[in-house]
């Protein structure tokens, strides 16, 4: 057969190797990698040009399998370094071995390539080759037989049979061809009712056109099984990563053949009283990218409660509903709200949620704290590394050229026994989970875990690692992440209003410059302080009163730092004490400052107030010092905990220790082991 080699106008890089495609306007190359076998021929159709194939062997870089690593151009073939400036020719090129290749082209006269050349690009070269038939791998034969036998043995009349595959991340010289063939061979013997892909079909890091070509291959291979194919899109499927050639929602619906008006849809399975619901779980423009939008939950509620009585629901999503089930997410946006909705539905006598399935984590896990099973499916991609995984999951060893190269499941829904049976093909073990209704306890368990923490976790300027510091979104996010308290900074405007901001100037966080003390309240309210987190849109500086109103709806402690070391704000102490009394939360506030005179002033005005001495460098006899002036606590920079007997002396004198800024998990664990009372951190989720 003949195929035109499509040259990418202006495409000048290949594996970042300047010897492959020189970075100059004199060359262009194919973006796509083509597959050749011995005897394939590359022919140049226009004598004005010269070409040279860059050859890639079938060797694989182990890093892509054994570490968290994605090949920049979705290519697992190894460049042979064959291309040199003298490689360009006009004669046909005959391949002497199986390999992958891409083609580089330049003008014969040495001139720069012009727009006319780019417009000719699709017809400059033609590739003549015989499409080789798929070669079955003998080491899969017994696994195919075992899987078919297990499905048949486990099956019963009226059982729903689904093929469940996740995270193929298909690449050049990857293993999808084997996975697709294995699914087809098992399907031919067991007869799936549907095939479901849980997302991340490819790495999503090449052009939209090439991604679509790869996706068509995967879906086409699944469709050869003769049953419906349903996709729930993953984060990589929007083509967001690295290349930013992002799919629109309309393009995603078309490319992944989604059935809904948006990215969410449902399918009723005739004869089973089952409604399968498919939810998207990634929005690249959202401040918290993983999760579910409010309009999705509205749609889901309608989809659930417009179903006929007696309907059973299978829910599929690329990502998990809770951050603790996903290494990559500090928060799943509206994930708890999603579970609440499903729990509410499952409590109805005439409905039943029989399972929530997700991929993304590249690991196996069954979460059983909900009233229905929440099940993670390992990745079909050939991958084996155990770090960067959620706590408690199972990761199976994988090795190319063995049965463990592959990984996917036959999902059997046994309505009689109310069990979900997952029959594993490849790496891993068969699993089983009951979907008989039970009491949900995930919220109670999360609450008990937070309440049982000996070292409290306080969010430094709110959840400032993920949201604009010292803003309402940061404080609200801290509460969502399970913070025991928040740390914030207060200053006064020109007209004496207590506002929450750290620096004495607005330069670092806002779109303006100037001193906080020189802005009136109305002027400072106009500032946008989203400089480091633009996805949040316009975010203003809150008043201390607004923060206190929010805090009253939670049980969080407030560590209020008075910013009066560089600028001595008159009446600052009086104003914050009056506001605490007005809002009725004085007993939940700890006042702190680097200005220890200010803390003494607080104690003079309100002897019952709790104050803490902030410091960054060593102070002699810090425990004695704190006790002498009636301090409730000391707030040292983390390094100060290394001074001999510092913690011991504070313990003996009843002085609490709240350490800043503890951002790394190892430091969290170390502070906890030392007996620190609270860790102040930008990343609550690491506590």
Q: Which residues are catalytic?
A: 460, 502
Residue holding tokens 């006064």?
A: 492
CB 93 within 8 A of CB 113: no
Helix (H) or strand (E) holding 341: helix 335-346
Exposed/middle/buried for residue 115 (C-beta within 10 Å: 0-12, 13-18, 19+): exposed
Q: What is d(CA 676, CA 371) in angstroms, rounded to the nearest whole number?
A: 37
Measured between alpha carbons, how far is 175 from 178 in angstroms, rounded to an integer? 6
d(CA 525, CA 535): 19
Going 336 to 342 to 344 to 346, the CA torsion angle's sign is negative
Q: What gap in Å lies between CA 647 and CA 423, rounded to an integer?
A: 54
Q: How many CA atoms lie within 13 A of 553 on its CB side?
A: 8
Q: What φ, ψ does residue 394 adopt, rounded to 5°?
A: -110, 130
Q: Which residue carries 């999603």 as its tokens?
A: 338
Tokens linked to 430: 């068969």
Distance CA 100, CA 81 (A): 13
The whole-angstrom separation of Cα 533 and Cα 472 is 13
C-alpha closest to that of 499 among 529, 454, 464: 529
* Secondary structure class of 602 (helix, strand, coil): helix
Answer yes or no: are the C-beta atoms of 393 and 364 closer than 8 Å.
yes
**CA-to-CA separations, 325 to 315, 375, 430, 505, in angstroms, rounded:** 16, 10, 20, 40
Cα separation of 614 and 599, whole Å?
10
E-assigned strands of 503-625?
A: 557-562, 589-593, 610-615
The CB-side HSE value for 573 (13 A sphere, CA atoms) comes to: 22
CB atoms within 10 A of CB 349: 7
Strand partners, 353: 313
Using CB atoms within 10 A of its CB, is residue 637 exposed (0-12), middle (13-18) or buried (19+)?
A: middle
Which residues, including other chains, have CB under 8 Å from residue 637's CB and lie 6 or more apart? 615, 616, 617, 659, 660, 661
Location of structure tokens 């090439």: 210
Q: Do 163 and 183 touch, CB atoms closer than 8 A?
A: yes
**CB–CB of 44/124 below 8 Å?**
yes
- Judge residue 462's burial from the number of C-beta atoms within 10 Å of its C-beta, 0-12 exposed, 13-18 middle, 19 or more buried: buried
- Cα Rg of the chain (Å, integer): 31
CB 50 within 8 A of CB 88: yes
Cβ burial 246-263 (10 Å sphere, 16+ → b, else e)? ebeeeebbebbebeeeeb
Residues in the chain: 687
Q: Choose among 661, 584, 597: nearest CA to 631.
A: 597
Spatial separation of the C-alpha atoms in residues 67 and 69, rounded to whole Å: 6
Number of H helices, E strands in the chain: 17, 31
């Amino acid at each position: 057969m003949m195929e035109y080699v499509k040259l990418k106008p202006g495409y000048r890089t290949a594996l970042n190797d300047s010897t492959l495609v020189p970075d100059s306007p004199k060359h262009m190359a194919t973006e796509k990698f083509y597959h050749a076998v011995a005897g394939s021929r590359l022919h140049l159709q226009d004598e004005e040009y010269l070409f040279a194939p860059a050859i890639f062997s079938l060797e694989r870089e182990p890093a892509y399998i054994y570490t968290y690593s994605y090949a920049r151009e979705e290519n697992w073939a190894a460049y042979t370094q064959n291309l040199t400036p003298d490689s360009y020719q006009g004669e046909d090129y005959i391949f002497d071995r199986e390999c992958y290749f891409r083609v580089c082209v330049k003008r014969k006269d040495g001139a720069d390539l012009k727009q006319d050349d780019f417009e000719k690009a699709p017809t400059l070269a033609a590739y003549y080759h015989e499409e080789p038939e798929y070669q079955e791998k003998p080491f899969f034969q017994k696994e195919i037989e075992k899987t078919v036998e297990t499905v048949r043995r486990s099956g019963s009349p009226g059982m729903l049979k689904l093929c469940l595959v996740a995270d193929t991340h298909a690449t050049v010289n990857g293993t999808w061809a084997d996975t697709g063939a294995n699914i087809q061979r098992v399907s031919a013997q067991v007869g799936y009712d549907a095939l479901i892909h849980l997302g991340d079909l490819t790495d999503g890091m090449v052009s939209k056109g090439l991604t679509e070509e790869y996706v068509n291959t995967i879906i086409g291979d699944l469709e050869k099984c003769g049953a419906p194919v349903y996709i729930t899109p993953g984060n990589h499927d929007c083509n967001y990563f690295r290349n930013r050639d992002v799919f629109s929602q309309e393009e995603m619906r078309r490319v992944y053949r989604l059935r809904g008006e948006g990215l969410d849809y449902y399918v009723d399975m005739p004869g089973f009283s089952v409604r399968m619901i498919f939810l998207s779980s990634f929005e690249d423009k959202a401040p918290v990218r993983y999760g579910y939008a409010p309009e999705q939950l509205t749609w889901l509620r309608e989809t659930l409660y417009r179903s006929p009585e007696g309907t059973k629901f299978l829910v599929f999503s690329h990502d998990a509903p809770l951050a603790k089930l996903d290494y990559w997410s500090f928060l799943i946006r509206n994930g708890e709200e999603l579970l609440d909705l499903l729990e509410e539905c499952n409590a109805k006598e005439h409905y039943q949620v029989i399972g929530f399935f997700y991929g993304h984590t590249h690991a196996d896990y069954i979460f059983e704290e909900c009233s229905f099973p929440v099940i993670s499916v390992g990745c079909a991609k050939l991958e084996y590394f155990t770090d960067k995984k959620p706590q408690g999951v199972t990761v199976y060893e994988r090795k190319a050229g063995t049965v463990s190269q592959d990984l996917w499941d036959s999902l059997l829904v046994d309505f009689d026994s109310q069990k979900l049976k997952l029959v594993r093909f490849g790496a891993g073990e068969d699993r089983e989970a009951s979907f008989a209704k039970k009491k949900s306890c995930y919220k109670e368990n999360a609450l008990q875990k937070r309440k049982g923490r000996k070292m409290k976790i306080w969010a430094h300027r709110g959840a400032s690692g993920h949201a604009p510091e010292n803003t309402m979104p940061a404080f609200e996010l801290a509460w969502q992440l399970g913070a025991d308290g928040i740390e914030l900074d207060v200053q006064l405007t020109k007209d004496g209003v207590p506002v929450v901001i750290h620096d004495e100037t607005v330069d670092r966080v806002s779109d303006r410059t100037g001193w906080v003390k020189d802005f009136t309240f109305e002027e400072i309210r106009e500032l946008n302080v989203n400089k480091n987190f633009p996805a949040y849109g316009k975010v203003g500086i809150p008043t201390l009163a607004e923060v206190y109103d929010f805090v009253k709806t939670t049980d969080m402690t407030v560590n209020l730092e008075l910013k009066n070391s560089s600028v001595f704000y008159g009446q600052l102490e009086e104003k914050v004490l009056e506001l605490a009394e007005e809002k009725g939360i004085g007993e939940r506030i700890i006042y702190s400052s680097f200005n220890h005179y200010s803390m003494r002033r607080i104690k003079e005005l309100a002897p019952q107030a709790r104050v803490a001495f902030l410091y960054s460098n060593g102070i002699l006899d810090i425990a004695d010092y704190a006790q002498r002036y009636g301090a409730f606590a000391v707030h040292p920079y983390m390094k100060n905990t290394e001074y001999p007997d510092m913690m011991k002396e504070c313990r003996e004198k009843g002085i609490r220790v709240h350490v800043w800024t503890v951002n790394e998990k190892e430091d969290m664990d170390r502070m906890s082991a030392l007996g620190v009372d609270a860790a102040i951190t930008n990343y609550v989720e690491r506590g």
